[in-house]
Amino acid sequence: MTDDLIVESEGPVGRIRLNRPKALHALNLGMCEGVLEALETWRGDPSVEAIVVDHAEGRGFCAGGDIRMLAASGATDGVEARAFFHAEYRMNHRLFTYAKPIVAFMDGITMGGGVGLALPCRFRVATENTKFAMPETGIGLFPDVGGGWYLSRLPGRIGQYLALTGHRLDGAECLTLGLATHFLASDALETAQARIAETPQDIAGVLDALATSAPDAKILARKDDIDRLFASDVLEDIYAALDADGGEWAMQTLATLRTKSPQTMKVSLRLLHEGAAMASFADEMKQEYAVGAHVVQRHDFIEGVRAVIVDKDNAPRWDPATPEAVTDHVIDQIFAPLPEHEAWTPG
C-alpha cells in the first residue's frame, strides 16, 4: 500500500481517501493499484456493505493523473505510461461494475483521472466547491478514463463541447447534467459520511435528507448555442459554424479551441461518436487504452505537457497546427487496435 492513499474500514463502510495534497491528489500507479486491492479485499467481505471515496486534506478531490510521468515515458518507450493506463482503466472498470454501493464525494477540483474515479460510482456528490472538467485537449491528450462513454451520453452536444473546450462545470451544473446524483453543502459532508456509516443500506435516503437545492445550472442558458454550433462530428465544421455565428460567445469559444491540439480534438470527436454506440464499458476502456497508448507517444502530448506543466509558457506548438492538416489517416492510426497480447482487459 502507498502513503498516497488511506484505506481503512469504519464499521460497515470501507473508506478510500486520496492523500497527495501537494499534487491535488493526482493519481499515480500505486494509488490505482491500491484502490483495486481494496475493492478486491472488500468484495468478498460481508461486513463491508458500502464504500466511500473522498480526499484527505487539501482543496482538490482529484486533479487527474500523473501527467509528468506519462509525458516522460511517452518521450521514450511508453512502457511506464501504458502500465499506468492499464491499472487506471482497470480501476475505472472495477468501480463501474462493483456490486456494493460506492459514494464519491467530488468536493473541489475533479478533473481528468478524478472524473474517471467518481463517475463510475453509484452515488456522486457535488458541492459548491466542485470544479469538474476534462481539459485534456489542452495538453494534447483526450478525455479518457471513460470520457468517450460518459460525455457521449450527456444531453445534446454538451459532451462534445466539454471534450473539445475543457470547459469547467460547477456542482450545480454537474447535478443538472446527471454527472452528480446529489448536491450537498461542503459543511454537510462529515455528517453525510457519519450517517452512511450508521445506515449503509440507505445511502440514497441519507443523501436525499442532507441535499440542498442547487443554484441554476448556467450551462443550460447556452445549451441551444452548443447544440447548434457543435452539431457536427467534423472539427472543421465546428470552426466554421462558430466563425459564421460571429457572436461574442462564439468568438470566445473559437479562440479557446484554437489553443487546443487539433489532433486530439479530432480524436475526441471520434471517441465520443464511437463511445455512444459501445456495447459495454469494458469495450470503451479497451478502445481508450489503445488510443491512449498511441497518443502518449505522439508529439502533441509531449509538447502540450512541456508548454502547460513543465515550462508553463502556455504556448504549445501543435503539429499539425490546424484541423485541416490532421488527416483521417492519422486518426485511423491512432484508433488502430493493439495486438491482442497487448490489448487492455478488465482483469
Active site (catalytic) residues: 65, 113, 136, 144
Q: Residue holding cell 453543502?
A: 185
Determine contact, residues 151/162, Cβ cutoff 8 Å: yes
Strands 131-133 and 169-170: antiparallel
Residues 134, 264: Cα–Cα separation, whole Å: 13
Three-state helix/strand/coil letters over 200-243: HHHHHHHHHHHCCCCCCCHHHHHHHHHHHHCCCCCHHHHHHHHH
Question: Cis peptide before 320, with omega less than 30 degrees from 0?
Answer: yes
Q: What secondary structure does DSSP assign to 150-216, as a single string?
A: HGGGSSTTHHHHHHHH-PPEEHHHHHHHTS-SEE--GGGHHHHHHHHHH-GGGHHHHHHHH--PPPP
